[in-house]
Amino acid sequence: MPSEESHIFHPHQAVVKQAYVSSLSQYQEMYKKSLENPEEFWGEIAKQFYWETPIDYKNFFRFNFDLSKGPIFNKWLDGATTNISYNLLDRNVRNGYGDKVAYYWEGNHPDDYSRLTYKKLLEEVCRFANVLKSRGVQKGDRVAIYMPMILEGVITLLACTRIGAIHSLIFAGFSSDSFAERILDCEARVIVTADGVWRGEKLLQLKTICDQAMAKCAKEGHNVETCVVVSHLERVTSPKGVSQQRQTNRTPMTEDRDIWWQDVVPQASTSCYPEWMQAEDPLFMLYTSGSTGKPKGVLHTTAGYLLYAATTFKYVFDYKPNDVYWCTADIGWITGHSYVVYGPLANAATSVLFEGTPFYPDNDRFWTVVDKYKVTQFYTAPTAIRALMKFDDHLVVRHDLSTLRVLGSVGEPINPEAWLWYYKLVGREKCSIVDTFWQTETGGHVLTTLPGAQPMKPGSAGFPFFGVQPVILDENGKEIKGEGEGYLVFSRPWPGLMRTLYGNHDRYELTYFSKFPGYYCTGDGAKRDADGYLWVTGRVDDMLNVSGHLMSTAEVESVLTEHPGVAEAAVVAKPHPVKGECLYCFITLTEAGKFDDKLLKELKTHVRERIGPFAQPDVIQNAPALPKTRSGKIMRRILRKIAVNDRNVGDVSTLADSSVVEQLFASRPVNI
Ligand code: PRX
């Protein structure tokens, strides 16, 4: 029986033949150049974009990753000026792509679909940029966006970049509390949202959530000045087949603050002169969970992010001019930013923008859409693959998926079983799978195979992308060369690596650069096999990855202890067949607390309301006491063992009271 590491799949000849990078040696040559001569490597790529102030090649990039030498920084193309929307839209229109479709929009209901060409997208972006300007939005202002997967979402992002405003998308699955916390942190003056959206058969009233969030902000003394609302529900088909009434009557609008998109955008001018931005001016911020519980506003800047999103998109998906690319990620996550919006548009690509779910109206919706648009590259998450694997194969087999060439995976490690299903059933053994490892912080893919260049190993993310230098360190910070397992870190920046955490450079330095001086620390573990393939083994900190959503144990714990019945909480990850990981919570009750169904229901609802539905705990166990060291530190290592009922708990000698462990094993909830 071959071990996982020796299970190798070679790219199909049809993929190799047309690939930009079609051999291992070509990859190695390009990789070497990207490290030895970054100015030339990235400079060549930069030439295809427009720079209002030209690039100074002598000052191409600088960085410091070592705190003992001063503040951490990472700057690319400093001194050059450009505008991203200009590069993504005007430049493409000038290059003859005006009539090319930028997006096929596919609604939640199969009867709803539309398309937008590059020329039209440019016009709409300019219109909305003018609306933002008319509401007083200026360069550097933050605009908070809480949008479903609709074309106005993309338009809003690009309208911000047109005028130099910093966009801050908040995934429209976050609760009003989480949304408010983020609005306050970035002090957004403007919010852009929609009245609501159907997700399968479920209606989400987004504007209502925005109202609650804005009310919470007002209590904290922050008044949002403008809330632009796309009237979306009236134009789509509801699941029951009844078209919705325009929501004007039902969606409460606050005078002077709230405006309907449709009332202001159509009459705005279709031209808007771009704001020329410094290469290192902020482009956007995006929140990601932090291990202390408070979300971190990851900040990306203009030039480096553009180069990196564009280049990874081109090579990792091997995008060619007539291809139709589809990434199923929501624009509220980094995958949506880099690979639904910026990367594809920088390459004048045609993409599918999908509003719905894989399960509506049937469990073959993904494959129906691939067939409908003749998709060539498909990019999704392992959790979706695992959910779809459960259904009968004929739901996949009955569709013509022959246009597919590259299949992508992102967000969490993909288990070999899911990989093989994706490869065999969806890819029909003809497609290359790219297992892309990256993070909100990295801006774009950092580890992956390239579709025509390297053989694939199910479950391995492969090799570093151009410009990326991964290192594996042991606990003492010593580099593990060759085969081995340890902490995954990077010894130098690439253009897309984040620059700071918004308003908190100290936390940035502390979180990413203090554990191992001289390295950017991912927080993930990895191992390198004998062939040099990298395998990401998962988080090494207190983070959980539920269906590709990263969250911190501290975040959930603090929400659980807000309940008057809970004195203390400890949350660990438990493996889950579809979600990858799920939340297993241990709670110690207060004197007032009573462990019953009512409490469990209240806690689940509370977590949903405070964080979002994706954070709902799967298991809550009553823990009269938690395993703690004598200094009071909870030993999560032991709790993780209890969660999976593995009695191999290892050394318990540092525990203040080791009998706690046996009690918890004995009182594990049944039927989990
Ligand atoms: O633990 C890694 C996991 O997701 C984390 C980053 O989450 P986020 O910033 O939300 O970005 C997700 C989309 C890029 C990483 O630290 N992760 C992401 N992709 C993979 C992965 N783990 C293993 N394999 C991957 N391909």
The residue nearest atom 15 of ligand 1, judged by CA position, is 439
Nearest to 611 by CA among 623, 603, 619, 599: 603
Q: Is the pLDDT of residue 249 over 60?
A: no
Q: Is the pLDDT of residue 400 over 50?
A: yes
- Give the mutation target among 410, 520, 522 for probing the ligand 1 site: most ligand atoms within 8 A of CB: 410
- Please name the residues in contact with 520: beta carbons below 8 A apart, sequence gap of 6 or more: 65, 489, 490, 491, 493, 497, 512, 513
Structure tokens at 207: 């504007």
**What is the predicted pLDDT for the residue at 630?**
78
**What is the predicted pLDDT for the residue at 327?**
98
- Tell me how far apart the alpha carbons of residues 490 and 118 are, in angstroms, rounded to a whole number: 37
- The rounded Å distance from CA 472 to ligand 1 centre is 17
Q: Which residues contact ligand 1 via a Cβ below 6 A?
A: 288, 334-335, 410-413, 435-440, 461, 522-524, 536, 539, 545, 550
Please, what is the average pLDDT of the chain?
94
Task: Write the pLDDT tens digit of every residue in 581-592.
Answer: 999 999 999 988
Task: Write the pLDDT tens digit of every residue in 631-668.
Answer: 778 888 899 999 999 999 888 888 888 899 999 999 99
- The rounded Å distance from CA 450 to ligand 1 centre is 18
Per DSSP, helices labelled H in 365-461 are: 365-373, 382-389, 394-397, 416-421
- The rounded Å distance from CA 439 to ligand 1 centre is 5
Task: Write the pLDDT tens digit of every residue in 253-304.
Answer: 999 999 999 999 999 999 999 999 999 999 999 999 877 768 899 999 999 9
- The rounded Å distance from CA 440 to ligand 1 centre is 8
Task: Write the pLDDT tens digit of every residue in 493-516.
Answer: 999 999 999 999 999 999 999 999
Query: Cα–Cα distances in Å, from 303 out to 79, 162, 185, 277, 499?
Result: 10, 14, 25, 9, 12
Structure tokens at 504: 């908190």
- The rounded Å distance from CA 46 to ligand 1 centre is 27
- Give the mutation target among 497, 511, 524, 542 for probing the ligand 1 site: most ligand atoms within 8 A of CB: 524
User: What is the Rg, in whole angstroms, of the alpha carbon atoms belonging to the chain?
Assistant: 25
**What is the predicted pLDDT for the residue at 627?**
93
Please indicate whether residue 23 or residue 289 has the higher confidence score (pLDDT).
Answer: 23
- The rounded Å distance from CA 650 to ligand 1 centre is 29
CB-facing half-sphere around the CA of 27: CA atoms within 13 A: 21
**What is the predicted pLDDT for the residue at 293?**
67
Average pLDDT estimate for 360-366: 97
The residue nearest atom 4 of ligand 1, judged by CA position, is 411
- Give the mutation target among 550, 551, 553, 555 for probing the ligand 1 site: most ligand atoms within 8 A of CB: 550
Q: Is the pLDDT of residue 246 over 60?
A: no
| Confidence label for 178 from pLDDT (cuts 50, 70 and 90) | very high
Task: Write the pLDDT tens digit of every residue in 52-80.
Answer: 999 999 999 999 999 999 999 999 999 99
If phi > 0 it is left, if psi is from -120 to 50 it is alpha, else beta; for residue 483 that is beta
**What is the predicted pLDDT for the residue at 558?**
86
Task: Write the pLDDT tens digit of every residue in 76-100.
Answer: 999 999 999 999 999 999 999 999 9
CB-facing half-sphere around the CA of 79: CA atoms within 13 A: 10
The residue nearest atom 6 of ligand 1, judged by CA position, is 439
Count Cβ atoms within 10 A of the Cβ of residue 633 and give its class: 0-12 exposed, 13-18 middle, 19 or more buried. Answer: exposed
**What is the predicted pLDDT for the residue at 6?**
67
The residue nearest atom 8 of ligand 1, judged by CA position, is 439
- The rounded Å distance from CA 443 to ligand 1 centre is 11
- The rounded Å distance from CA 128 to ligand 1 centre is 33
- Tell me how far apart the alpha carbons of residues 226 and 218 are, in angstroms, rounded to a whole number: 13
- Give the mutation target among 316, 379, 412, 543 for probing the ligand 1 site: most ligand atoms within 8 A of CB: 412
Task: Write the pLDDT tens digit of every residue in 197-225.
Answer: 999 999 999 999 999 999 999 999 999 99
- The rounded Å distance from CA 201 to ligand 1 centre is 29
